[in-house]
């Protein structure tokens, strides 16, 4: 048992059972999986990525590269969870990863023996012959072996929320610097958000035996947190990682709400926050560095600060005998803490000039050159200052290689940190993120006093308030002599997670991958889930030594969000599945549902596709019946999705005349005209009907799909292009329900104002706008009533229609009707079609797109009709039109819309065909290369029913 009898910030009065790889363990509230396993004497926690070497925990925080576990069962399983972050809860089931059949005995560890052949970039140089082996054998094999954890591949049952927060000051990190900043701002009444990725706030104070304000640092931290939580203007957010800094003072944050609770919790599992802060303080601390020496990756070898956290926060002494390997003064602190816990210590200090230490065996100028103990550290080989070597028995090795300020957030907008020779570290650049300032260890000021002071002062200055009084704390200077790697035989690890060694960096250097960005990609160093937090600087130092350029010139790779892994589910929030986008429902939606409609999504709209009658089993049966019904009796369909844009003012006519290709100025009040609008590049933007209600009042109906773009276009022209015109544009699309009533018997229900005429009429006691337009080619009209009456209007019309042998129809039938009449949609005007292609004349007046539409190149394939005349009867939308042999050079056009016409008894289509207008009566072949179907077609005028429109003018 490695649990110390006293101390720690755990609740010894309660126990929590959990399991790891099927073995039961006991933890206390306050334990992580890593601390609980260490307490139970478990050192082996994982297998490395490439070589499957046995690994133990290296750190006590989110930068952990080795102890990655899977937590949860079934669909709840989450791989690559860091055991140092995962809080233990009752019944937690954790599994190790990347090993088979077991953690203790992993067959793929054989890869470690092959390591000379598996260096950086080995896959660029192998698997070249025989060529076919790559696809058939190697790639599938490597794919199966690659990766760390496995996902369940089942739908994620958890729910996630997204939310916004606004504050005056965002404090990133709740260590001594962050707590003082939050206290200063919070007591002054500012809106503060204090976020820390840990579940226990206090930062390093929880992992050291340091006093603050005359009491234990951890106790001081707890007191401050209690006060902050009592302030209504302060939002304290534990378990919340600030994931990224973005423009405009916006920060992303991931709050792990329920990852420490059993799966049955109803709470959203995580919340992704977007925090908008006037000011932000980066107080996220620093990450300690390991030292590179042969076999420095065994279970039991960890960072010195991590060991001190396990001692002080979790009351765990992972081994009895320790070697402490340091290049700075923290080796002594570590040795003292170990001795107090009853351990034996050998202090190996790389600095020859280190002040002598008498409390334990002290070896200045010495190095660690090797280790033994595959499944867990057993012994350490030392090389003394005089060159002698000796083996020392040890179950634990603590590395103190110096500290890397956590610069990440400050570099998310493209800045690179700067090297400070005096502390051997990269620090943030001022103003790299506007409004963000780094303090404390994150800024290279490592003493507790410096952190407390900077936190209070920077917060005070940003907000123009008084800093709170500073409690007393240690102010020891950092005494580091840079030492990055031991020169000795054997592999020395730099990136533990991606299994990258010093040899790999040397290889990258030899192969001229010398810039750190090239080195990163060539060796994969820094590309794992920990993003090289404990690896990057050591590798840069090795490369700087090889190139001779020094650290400042070598620099770092680019930092990008997120700071630590974020689940995709959290970024999606509630917008998943049916809630991915909103639905728009027509006023007659409930009515259609009550009448057995089938539904189609058109953009955001829900529209009835057809209304199934008794006995109908295929969509064609319903569609054919509905088409016949409209052509022979009367059909009712809701068209409320159309845009309805009102244009008012004395210049409304002039405005429309410039917008449309079609002349609009002389349109008489009470009349309707069909028109076409072009883009500035001369292609058709949309078609629309325009009704003139009065001298200075127009209503435009753009197509459903384009109405948003058309509205923006009109607003642009009114505000910017022609600000001198007196016109107001109002989008009244939502105000009106609109229902189309068409068929030879339509007049028996309602006598409309006449074809292409408009009138205000009272219908069933309600004032309606009635438009004499037809999209089906049958006589009738579209009736617009205020939306509240839409459903009732449908009911009123349907009752009368039924008595005449008519009924409701949906957009499938509507589409057939309009193709029969040659009326176009965006299937025809797909953005590449000009008005010349439609056979429309160019008027004399000015209009948007006039100049560009005059270009010869805009005369493309022309609108035609097509019908099958050979043995093959099928026409397929999108099929290509060719003459003779099918080849890419021989394509003359394509089919834009193809439907079965029950009126004619065969398929018909509209299409765009080179020189189409001159080829009526000729033949062309339709070829659908995807299905292999081809059919001979006759080219016809683009209208199949009532070409002279006699029905409409009846």
Of 233-252, binders to other proteins (CB under 8 A) are 246-250
Answer for which of 163, 594, 803, 936 binds other proteins (CB under 8 A) is 163
Does residue 594 touch other proteins according to CB under 8 A? Answer: no
| Span near other proteins by CB under 8 A; candidates 163-171, 473-481, 593-601, 750-758 | 163-171
CA distance to 22, 79, 453, 564, 911, per residue, from 17 (Å) = 12, 21, 42, 28, 71
- Residues 39, 316: contact at Cβ < 8 Å? yes
Give the count of residues interacting with other proteins (CB under 8 A). Answer: 76
Look up residue 407 and give its DSSP letter: -
Q: How far is the CB of 558 from other proteins (least distance, A)?
A: 15
Q: Min. distance of Cβ 225 from other proteins in angstroms? A: 15
Q: How far is the CB of 270 from other proteins (least distance, A)?
A: 11
SS3 519: helix
Judged by CB, which is closer to other proteins: 718, or 875?
A: 718
Based on CB atoms, which residue is closest to other proteins, 375 or 735? 735
- Residues of this chain, 602-621, that bind other proteins according to CB under 8 A: 605
Which region among 16-24, 264-272, 317-325, 398-406 touches other proteins (by CB under 8 A)? Answer: 264-272
Q: Tell me if 792 contacts other proteins by CB under 8 A.
A: yes
**723 touches other proteins (CB under 8 A):** yes
Least distance from other proteins to the Cβ atom of residue 96, Å: 28
Q: Is 905 in the site for other proteins (CB under 8 A)?
A: no
3-state SS string for 170-213: EEECCCHHHHHHHHHHHHCCCCEEEECCCCCCCHHHHCCCCEEC
Residue closer to other proteins by CB (options 163, 552) is 163
Q: What is the DSSP track for 848-863?
A: TTHHHHTSGGG--SEE
Question: Residue from 579, 760, 842, 931 that binds other proteins (CB under 8 A)?
Answer: 579
How far is residue 204's CA from residue 423's CA, in Å, rounded to a whole number? 19
The interface with other proteins within residues 619-648 (CB under 8 A) comprises 646, 648
Judged by CB under 8 A, the residue of 141, 151, 732, 954 near other proteins is 732
Q: Are 703 and 641 in contact (CB under 8 A)?
A: no
Interacting residues with other proteins between 643 and 702 (CB under 8 A): 646, 648-650, 680-681
CB of 785 to other proteins, least distance (A): 7
Q: Based on the shown chain and the rule CB under 8 A, indicate whether residue 851 belongs to the binding site for other proteins.
A: yes
Is 329 among the residues that bind other proteins (CB under 8 A)? no
List C-alpha distances in Å: 589 to 593, 597, 708: 6, 9, 21
- Given candidates 848, 908, 910, 943, which one binds other proteins under the rule CB under 8 A? 848
Scanning 22-30, 621-629, 741-749, 791-799 for contacts with other proteins by CB under 8 A, the matching segment is 791-799
Q: How many CA atoms lie within 13 A of 45 on its CB side?
A: 34
For other proteins, the closer CB: 857 or 921: 857
Q: What are phi and psi of 824, to 5 degrees?
A: -95, 160
Under the criterion CB under 8 A, does residue 764 sit at the interface with other proteins?
yes
Shorter beta-carbon distance to other proteins: residue 697 or 917: 697
- The alpha carbon torsion through 653, 658, 662, 668 (nearest 10 deg) reads 10
Q: How far apart are CA 636 and CA 903, in angstroms?
A: 18
Q: Which of 583, 589, 618 is nearest to 604 (CA)?
A: 583
Nearest of 4, 1, 11 to residue 312 by alpha carbon:
4
One residue of 611, 789, 809, 823 binding other proteins per CB under 8 A: 789
Question: Is residue 576 part of the contact set for other proteins (CB under 8 A)?
Answer: no
Name the residue among 433, 428, 430, 437 with its Cα closest to residue 461. Answer: 437
CB of 503 to other proteins, least distance (A): 39
Choice from 585, 747, 804, 840 touching other proteins (CB under 8 A):
585
> Does residue 37 contact residue 55 with C-beta atoms inside 8 Å?
no
Least Cβ distance, residue 59 to other proteins (angstroms):
27
- Scanning 21-29, 521-529, 758-766, 883-891 for contacts with other proteins by CB under 8 A, the matching segment is 758-766
Per CB under 8 A, the segment of 393-401, 450-458, 479-487, 582-590 that binds other proteins is: 582-590
Tell me the angle at which helices 536-547 and 502-510 cross, rounded to the nearest 10 degrees.
Answer: 40
CB contact at 8 A, 611 and 588: no
Rounded Cα distance, 531 and 45, in Å: 20
| Residue 720 lies near other proteins (rule: CB under 8 A) | yes
d(CA 517, CA 519) in angstroms, rounded, equals: 5
266 sits near other proteins (criterion: CB under 8 A)? yes
**Between 360 and 787, CB nearer to other proteins:** 787
- Could you give the CA distance from residue 607 to residue 197 in angstroms, rounded to a whole number? 47
Examine residue 102 and tell whether it contacts other proteins (CB under 8 A): no
Q: Measured from the CB of residue 594, what is the shortest distance to other proteins in angstroms? A: 12
Q: For residues 732 and 869, which CB has a smaller minimum distance to other proteins in the complex?
A: 732
SS3 32: strand
Q: How many CB atoms lie within 10 A of CB 109?
A: 16
Q: Cβ of residue 372: shortest distance to other proteins, in angstroms?
A: 47
Please provide the distance, in angstroms rounded to a whole number, between the alpha carbons at the two ends of the chain.
Answer: 99
Per-position DSSP letters for 602-651, written without gaps between them: ETTEEEEEEEPPTT--SHHHHHHHHHHHHHHS-EEEE-TTS--EEEESTT
Considering only residues 271 to 290 of the shown chain, the ones binding other proteins according to CB under 8 A are: 271, 274, 276
Tell which one of 584, 628, 671, 906 touches other proteins (CB under 8 A).
584
Is residue 101 within 8 Å of 109, Cβ to Cβ?
no
- Cβ 232 to other proteins shortest distance, Å: 11
Residues 189-208 that bind other proteins (CB under 8 A): 191
According to the binding rule CB under 8 A, does residue 431 interact with other proteins?
Answer: no
Site string for other proteins, 699-718 (x = CB under 8 A): -------------x--xx--
Answer yes or no whether residue 582 interacts with other proteins by CB under 8 A: yes
């Amino acid at each position: 048992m490695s649990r110390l009898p006293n101390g720690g910030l755990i609740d010894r009065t309660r126990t929590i059972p959990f399991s790891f790889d099927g073995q039961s363990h006991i933890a206390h509230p306050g334990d992580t999986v890593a601390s609980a396993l260490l307490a139970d004497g478990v050192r082996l926690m994982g297998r490395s990525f490439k070589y499957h070497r046995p690994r133990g925990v290296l750190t006590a925080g989110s930068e952990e590269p080795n102890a990655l576990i899977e937590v949860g069962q079934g669909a709840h399983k989450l791989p690559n969870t860091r055991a140092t972050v995962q809080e233990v809860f009752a019944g937690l089931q954790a599994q190790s990863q990347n090993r088979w059949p077991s953690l203790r005995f992993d067959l793929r560890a054989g890869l470690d023996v092959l390591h000379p052949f598996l260096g950086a970039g080995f896959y660029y140089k192998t698997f070249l012959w025989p060529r076919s082996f790559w696809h058939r054998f190697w790639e599938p094999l490597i794919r199966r072996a690659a990766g760390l954890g496995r996902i369940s591949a089942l739908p994620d049952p958890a729910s996630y929320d997204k939310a916004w927060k606004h504050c005056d000051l965002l404090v990133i990190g709740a260590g001594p610097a962050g707590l003082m900043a939050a206290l200063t701002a919070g007591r002054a009444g500012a809106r503060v958000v204090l976020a820390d990725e840990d579940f226990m706030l206090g930062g390093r104070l929880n992992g050291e035996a340091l006093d603050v304000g005359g009491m234990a640092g951890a106790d001081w931290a707890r007191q401050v947190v209690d006060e902050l939580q009592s302030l209504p203007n302060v939002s304290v957010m534990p378990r919340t990682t600030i994931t990224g800094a973005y423009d405009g003072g916006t920060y992303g944050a991931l709050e792990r709400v329920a990852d420490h609770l059993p799966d049955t919790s109803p709470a959203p599992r995580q919340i992704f926050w977007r925090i908008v802060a006037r000011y932000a303080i980066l107080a996220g601390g620093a990450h300690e560095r390991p030292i590179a020496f042969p076999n420095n990756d065994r279970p039991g070898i960890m960072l010195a600060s991590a060991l001190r956290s396990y001692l002080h926060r979790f009351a765990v002494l992972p081994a009895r005998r320790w070697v402490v390997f340091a290049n700075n003064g923290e080796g002594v602190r570590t040795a003292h803490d170990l001795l107090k816990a009853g351990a034996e210590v050998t202090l190996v200090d790389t600095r020859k000039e280190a002040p002598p230490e008498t409390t334990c065996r002290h070896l200045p100028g010495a190095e660690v050159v090797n280790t033994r103990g595959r499944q867990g550290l057993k012994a350490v080989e030392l090389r003394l200052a005089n060159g002698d070597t000796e083996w020392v028995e040890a179950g634990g090795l603590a590395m103190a290689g110096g500290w890397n300020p956590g610069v990440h957030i400050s570099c998310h907008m493209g800045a690179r940190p700067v090297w400070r020779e005096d502390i051997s570290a990269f620090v943030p650049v001022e103003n790299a993120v506007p409004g963000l300032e780094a303090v404390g260890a994150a800024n290279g000021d490592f003493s507790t006093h410096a952190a407390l002071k900077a936190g209070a002062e920077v917060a005070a200055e940003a907000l123009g308030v008084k800093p709170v009084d500073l409690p007393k704390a240690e102010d020891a200077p950092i005494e580091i002599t840079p030492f990055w790697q031991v020169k000795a035989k054997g592999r020395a690890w730099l990136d533990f997670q991606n299994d990258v060694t010093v040899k790999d960096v040397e290889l990258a250097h030899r192969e001229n991958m010398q810039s750190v960005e090239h080195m990163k990609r060539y060796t994969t160093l820094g590309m794992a889930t920990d993003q090289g937090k404990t690896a990057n600087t050591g590798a840069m130092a090795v490369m700087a030594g090889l190139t001779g350029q020094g650290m400042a010139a070598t620099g770092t790779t680019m930092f990008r969000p997120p700071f630590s892994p974020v689940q995709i589910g959290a970024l999606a929030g509630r917008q998943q599945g049916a809630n991915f986008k909103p639905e728009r429902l027509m006023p007659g939606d409930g009515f259609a549902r009550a009448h057995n409609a089938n539904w189609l999504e058109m953009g955001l709209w829900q529209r009835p596709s057809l209304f199934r009658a008794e006995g109908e089993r295929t969509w064609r049966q319903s569609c054919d019946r509905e088409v016949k019904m409209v052509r022979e009796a009367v059909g009712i369909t809701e068209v409320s999705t159309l845009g309805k844009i009102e244009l008012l003012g004395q210049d409304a006519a002039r405005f429309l005349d410039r917008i449309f290709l079609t002349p609009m100025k002389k349109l008489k009040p009470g009349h309707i005209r069909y028109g076409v609008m072009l883009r500035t590049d001369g292609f058709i933007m949309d078609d629309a009907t325009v009704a003139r209600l009065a001298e200075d009042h127009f209503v435009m109906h753009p197509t459903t799909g384009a109405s948003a773009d058309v509205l923006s276009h009109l607003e642009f022209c009114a505000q910017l292009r022609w600000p001198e015109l007196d016109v107001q544009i109002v989008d009244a699309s939502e105000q009106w329900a609109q229902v189309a009533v068409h068929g030879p018997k339509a007049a028996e229900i309602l006598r409309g104002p006449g074809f292409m005429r408009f009138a205000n009429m009272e219908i069933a006691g309600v004032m309606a706008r009635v438009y004499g337009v037809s999209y089906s080619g049958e006589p009738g009209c579209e009736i617009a009533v205020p939306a509240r009456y839409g459903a009732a209007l449908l009911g009123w019309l349907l009752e009368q229609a039924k008595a005449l042998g008519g009924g409701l129809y949906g957009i499938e039938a509507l589409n057939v009707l309009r193709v029969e009449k040659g009326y176009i949609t965006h299937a025809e005007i797909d953005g590449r079609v000009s008005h010349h292609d439609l056979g429309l004349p160019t008027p004399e007046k000015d209009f948007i797109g006039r100049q560009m539409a005059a270009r010869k190149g805009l005369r493309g394939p022309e609108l035609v009709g097509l019908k099958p005349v050979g043995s093959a009867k099928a026409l397929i939308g999108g099929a290509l039109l060719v003459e003779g042999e099918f080849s890419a050079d021989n394509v003359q056009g394509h089919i834009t819309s193809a439907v079965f016409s029950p009126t004619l008894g065969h398929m018909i289509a509209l299409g765009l065909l080179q020189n189409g207008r001159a080829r009526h009566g000729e033949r062309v072949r339709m070829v659908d290369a995807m299905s292999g179907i081809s059919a001979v077609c006759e080219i016809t005028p683009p209208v199949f029913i009532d070409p002279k429109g006699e029905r409409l003018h009846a």
